[in-house]
Structure 1
Amino acid sequence: MSETRFYPTRPVLAASVAVFRDGRVLLASRGKPPGENLFSLPGGQVETGETLAEAALRELQEEVRVKAKLIGLIAPVEFIERDAEGRIKHHVVIAAHAARWVSGEPQTGPEAREIRWVTEQDIVGLPMTPGLAAILEQAFRLERRDAAR
């Protein structure tokens, strides 16, 4: 993890991916802050010279050992967290993508403590990172539109 993730001098750019398989989306509970123990999409920081799409697919492979094919960009998510003194502790801008599963069975690890394939109905009541419910709503819409083609 880069030192600039905590108390950054500028926003950190990241990418994530909602992977669909048989009408379900892959969620992982985060193993590290921010959002530790909350369900989220696999993802992480964009590396220099890497596109948002490349970063999303690389992070998916690194975090949960799954390969997927992107079907579209969903939306940006902004996560800003302040500490008790009001200083910016985290500022991450995440480009969320939707994709279809290609191969690999998801595996837990340091960044993904628990993994679940969930339906839209399963999402209700899950402890999730801020803004994830709205992203998942858009992801399911995009997935249905792509499946109808």
Structure 2
Amino acid sequence: MTEAAPAQPRHPQLAVSAAIFRDDRFLLVRRARAPAKGLYSLPGGRVEFGESLDQAVIREVAEETGLSIEIVGFAGRREVLPSPVGAAGHYVIMVFAARWAAGEPQLNDELDDARWIGPDELAAFSTTEGLAELIAGARAMVGT
């Protein structure tokens, strides 16, 4: 007997991510699991009940990459809607601009690659939709 896949939530899931800058480069990570498996994006994940957005992004970055960050500010949002050929869930992702504070990337099982790249290198990667615009906005906030 096969197990049925878990039912998708019937409401949007709130998530956070961080555009982390270290000097003039930012951290690009590749997702090892759905949603966005195989695409490069920013580290982050779901907000837990009772957790502030700042707490969530600091926790998610630490869990996924082992990095400590300093949040600069809110850089933008992205919404992923369910579709027959794409995402199975509905996500609202709050994106923050941040500066690297400490650590070197130590990936958990949600990611399978991490690279510090310059913004001009982004076009060479298969990324989640709208990533270039979010990086540009975050870069302006951080001042690199």
Normalised to the residue count of structure 1, the TM-score between the two structures is 0.87
1:27 paired residue number = 28
1:55 paired residue number = 56
Distance 2:72 2:107 in 1: 24
Distance 1:109 1:44 in 2: 12
1:107 paired residue number = 106
> What CA deviation, in whole Å up to 9, does each residue of 1:3-29 have, x standing for no partner?
98x632000000111111011001110
1:67 Cα deviation after fit: 0.3
Equivalent AA in structure 2 for residue 58 of structure 1: R
1:79 Cα deviation after fit: 0.8
Aligned counterparts, 1:52-131, within 5 A = 52-83=53-84, 89-131=88-130
Contact 1:79–1:130 at 8 Å: present in 2 too?
no
1:42 paired residue number = 43
Distance 1:126 1:71 in 2: 25
Equivalent AA in structure 2 for residue 70 of structure 1: I
Unaligned runs of 5+ in 2: none
SS at match of 1:8: coil
SS at match of 2:126: coil
Equivalent AA in structure 2 for residue 108 of structure 1: L
Equivalent AA in structure 2 for residue 18 of structure 1: A
> What CA deviation, in whole Å up to 9, does each residue of 1:16-70 have, x standing for no partner?
1111101100111001111101111100000011011110110000000000000
Is residue 11 from structure 1 mapped to residue 12 from structure 2 by the alignment? yes
In the TM superposition, structure 1's runs of 4+ consecutive aligned residues that sit over 4 Å from their partners are: none
Unaligned runs of 5+ in 1: none
Distance 2:84 2:89 in 1: 9
Distance 2:141 2:126 in 1: 23
Distance 1:70 1:31 in 2: 25
Contact 2:63–2:108 at 8 Å: present in 1 too?
no
1:137 paired residue number = 136
**What is the root-mean-square deviation of aligned Cα atoms in Å?**
1.9
